[in-house]
Amino acid sequence: MNPTNSADESARNSSPDPISESAKRSEPSPTELPPEGAEVLEAEAIEIAVPPPETASAPALESSETAGLELDKTLFEEGDPADLLHFAPEEGAPLSEIDRTADEDALSFGDLTVSNDDAEDKPTVKKKRIVRREKGAGVRSLTAAIIYLVSVICIGVLLGLLIVSVVNDVFAFVKDDSIYEITIEDENMSLEELSEYLYEKGIISYPSVFRIYVELKEDGEITLKEGTYNISPSFNYDKILGALNPAPVRKEVTITFQEGMTVDDIIDLFVSKGIGTRKGFEDVIENYDFDYWFLKDVESTEDRYYRLEGYLYPDTYRFYSDSSEVAALSKLLDNFKKKVPKSYAEQCAELGYTMDEMIIMASLIESECTWVADYEYVSAVFHNRLKSADFNGRLDSDASIQYILRHTTGSRKEKLEDADLKIDSPYNTRIKEGLPPGPICNPSLSAMTAALYPNTDCGYFYFVAQANGYNLYAKTYQGHLNNIKKVEEENEEN
């Protein structure tokens, strides 16, 4: 027997087993068991690797034993005293059940593995994560999740209710319809003062929202008028602002323009009702570019008194008292467009007239007649005179002379004098041939129809008006004189 080997064996047998000592110290006594309900810890395996016994020398083994003891001490010193770790092999397993692997050069046992570093001959320790499993942790996590979810829902509901309330205050979808009396004593009241005042009166619920709304929509500018107003919470913000700054009430005026009225008559009536001025109307009539099909061929000439004469349709109208001259005249022209179809222009062309010539003839008929029943006969008289050599193309209409007097003097005469019949004017059909340069009044549609379709079977050339407004007609001049005498006798009797 080799004495050296015997000495080594004896040394190993007499030296205390560090693994055994560590295992002994790591086994908890019955008195050290954790109380019931305490936190239970589970530790993952920790491996300790040492050199195989074949190559380990006595000093190396001694180093390993020392390292094991130091490791065991370190683990217990660094850990939680309550979290004691058990590093021994499974209960009942002998220490001889140490797994030695020749190829890995490691020694492992129980929950501890120590490996030898080939370069430095020092053991290395690998610690693995310790997982705590606390009793009741799942219940607490579920409770926290429920509380969080309920909190989010509650906050969302409250926020939604606030938004609905603000929107309802702005647009007044569902609000109290009571009426409150609001008095504005200072029209220079600031926006902040107004919003607080409306809040105090119960008209609005969010003064700050009201101010933001006005800032965004009106650039923060408010226009107030002193006075007392009846305002309801059911008013939205726009309606509240409008109620505190009411637009001026526009007065309406009803005006009736009779058939046969001239432009001068119409202007005077407009001005008497507070609409426009004479100068304003004259300027618009002559210069404004109205876009109507029946005015396309109408020109302002030196001889024509008014460009729009004959086209301001007689009727009853409603106007705002602050209407402009353009707006007022447009209403009459719109009515002409509505009442007189374009087919009239086509019929005029078929009969050899322009639209303006037809209107001129209709204005003469309208001015000479009181009753519609006479329109077709007076139209026949004028058509016959234009074609007759005895009249040399003259119409001999006293109404045209009255038109001259109305325009130049501002009034008509009840009875024309000889001097009136000789007035030098393009409108004097007593001395001028053909139609006058423009209409002498604004005729009705019935007069226009009669101008196009006279009674061609009567053969009349003369007429005279009776006291009742109806005319007496004659085919000859002598017959006309007889009718005049008859009218004078009737007038003397009355």
pLDDT in tens, 451-470: 999 999 999 999 999 999 99
Within-domain flag for 32? no
Model confidence band, residue 52 (pLDDT cutoffs 50, 70, 90): low
Same domain for 110 and 147? no
d(CA 295, CA 202): 59
- The answer to whether residues 365 and 457 belong to one domain is yes
**Segment 92-100 mean pLDDT:** 46
378 shares its domain with 482? yes
Number of domains in the chain: 4
CB 230 within 8 A of CB 179: yes
Least confident of 215-224, 311-320, 471-480: 215-224
The chain-wide mean pLDDT, for the chain, equals 79
H/E stretch holding 318 reads strand 316-320
Domain shared by 347 and 475, yes or no: yes
**Integer CA distances (angstroms), 6 to 227, 250, 404, 483, in order:** 126, 133, 163, 180
Mean pLDDT in residue range 168-187: 83
Q: Is residue 278 domain-resident?
A: yes
Of residues 427 and 131, the one with the higher pLDDT is 427
| Model confidence at 95: pLDDT above 80 | no
Q: Which residue has the higher pLDDT, 247 or 373?
A: 373
Report yes or no on 10 lying in a domain. no
Minimum mean pLDDT range among 244-253, 265-274, 364-373, 479-488? 244-253
CA 262 to chain centre: 47
Instruction: For residue 424, give the amino acid letter.
Output: D
Check whether 150 has a pLDDT greater than 80.
yes
Answer with the one of 133, 155, 180 that is the final residue of a domain. Answer: 133
What domain range is 155 assigned to?
A: 143-247
Confirm whether 6 is domain-assigned. Answer: no
In 3-state terms, what secondary structure has residue 247? coil
pLDDT, mean of residues 171-191: 85
Confidence of residue 305 (pLDDT cuts 50, 70, 90): very high
Query: By the 8 A CB rule, do 107 and 89 touch?
Result: no
The answer on 95 and 58 residing in a single domain is yes
Question: Which one is predicted more confidently, 36 or 450?
Answer: 450
> Lowest-confidence range among 54-58, 123-127, 362-366, 426-430?
54-58
pLDDT at residue number 134: 61
Supply the pLDDT for residue 106.
46
For residues 394 and 298, membership in a common domain is answered with: no
Q: What is the DSSP letter of 295?
A: G
Residue 208 inside a domain? The answer is yes
Same domain, 483 and 365: yes
Report yes or no on 274 lying in a domain.
Answer: yes
Give me the phi and psi of 13, to 5 degrees please.
-70, -35
Q: State which of 339, 359, 383 marks the end of a domain.
A: 339
Same domain, 363 and 468: yes
- Cβ neighbour number for residue 482 with a 10 Å cutoff: 14
Q: Which residue among 215, 247, 279 closes a domain?
A: 247
Query: According to the model, what pLDDT value does residue 142 have?
Result: 86
Does residue 9 lie in a domain region?
no
Catalogue the E-assigned strands of 223-314. 227-231, 252-256
- Asked if residue 179 and residue 128 are part of one domain, the reply reads no
348 with 462, same domain: the answer is: yes
Q: 467, 446 in Cβ contact below 8 A?
A: no
pLDDT average, residue stretch 320-333: 95
Does 149 share its domain with 236?
Answer: yes
